[in-house]
Amino acid sequence: EVQLVESGGGLVQPGGSLRLSCAASGFTFSAYWMTWVRQAPGKGLEWVANINPSGSEKYYADSVKGRFTISRDNAKSSLYLQMNSLSGEDTAVFYCARAKLPAAKYNWFDPWGQGILVTVSS
Amino acid sequence: DMQMTQSPSSLSASVGDRVTITCRASQNIDTYLAWYQQKPGKAPNVLIYDASTLESGVPSRFSGSGSGTEFTLTIGSLQPDDFGTYYCQQYNTYSPTFGQGTKLEIK
């Protein structure tokens, strides 16, 4: 079964840091572009960052550029999101998601993880 | 930046109704568009990709159409399980963008 499971969320103070992880199973992780998408409480979906299969190509939304870093470890079938300088505007459920087709840079997302809540508050 | 605009932002319809949701792109995206359904507390699920291709396992009452900048998602005969929020997403660029969502309520 293809599965993505996020971890590492929780409560963090403004200005703090947090590292999210996404464990993948059931498919050849190293063959796919991977993405982080977030959803603030009661709001819509916002793309955060994506990374190519080898980890050499990365893109970020303007809202997180310079603060967040996406990375991956293909040997561990894991995706990461290092988040620094967090503010209340970063409070959201964070989803990891896979491109539907292998090696496809421009693609829709399927599957998605169950999501992990990050709360930035003092 | 590519903007995706959905309408309406919410709607209420009865079982059996035909429902249409529109998504407009600020630039030409050919047919690089997907539609998702999201239930409360759950991750989105893809319904349609490439603007009009039905994802495997998705009921045939869902259909998509359009190309360029104007797209529609149609639910042919609304069922009770179709409540939720629907999002369009363009994947024509390295920075995919979502519409703001359409919340569908069953009367």
What does the DSSP assignment read for chain A? --EEEEE--EEE-TT--EEEEEEEESS-GGGS-EEEEEE-TT--EEEEEEE-TTS--EEE-TTTTTTEEEEEEGGGTEEEEEE-S--GGG-EEEEEEEESSTT-SS--EEEE---EEEEE--
Tokens of A117: 């809540």
The one-letter amino acid code at A85 reads S
pLDDT at B37: 98
Percent of chain B with pLDDT over 70: 100
Mean pLDDT of chain B: 97
pLDDT at B105: 97
Give residues 32 to 71 of B whose Cβ lies within 8 Å of A: 32, 34, 36, 38, 42-46, 49, 55
- Region B45-71: mean pLDDT is 98
pLDDT at B1: 84
The DSSP call for residue B56 is T
**Alpha carbon of A69: minimum distance to chain B alpha carbons (Å):** 15
Tokens of B20: 């249409």
Q: Which residues pair with A96 in a beta bridge?
A: A36
- CA-nearest of A115, A122, A99, A117 to A31 is A99
Tokens of A26: 């059931």
Percent of chain A with pLDDT over 90: 98
The one-letter amino acid code at A80 reads Y
- Region A19-32: mean pLDDT is 98
Question: Is the CB of B101 less than 8 angstroms away from the CB of A45?
Answer: yes
| Helix then strand then coil, % of chain B, to nearest 5 | 5, 50, 45
Provide the phi-psi class of A15: left if phi over 0, else alpha when psi is between -120 and 50, else beta: left
Question: Is the CB of B94 less than 8 angstroms away from the CB of A114?
Answer: no
* pLDDT at A116 > cutoff 90: yes
- CA-nearest of B64, B75, B76 to B31 is B64
Q: Where does residue A70 rank: exposed (0-12), middle (13-18), buried (19+ CB within 10 A)?
A: buried
* pLDDT at A84 > cutoff 90: yes
CB contact set of B56 (below 8 Å; sequence gap of 6+):
none
Lowest average pLDDT, out of A8-12, B17-21, B91-95, goes to: B91-95
Name chain B contacts of A105, Cβ cutoff 8 Å: 94
| Residue B48's pLDDT band (cuts 50, 70, 90) | very high
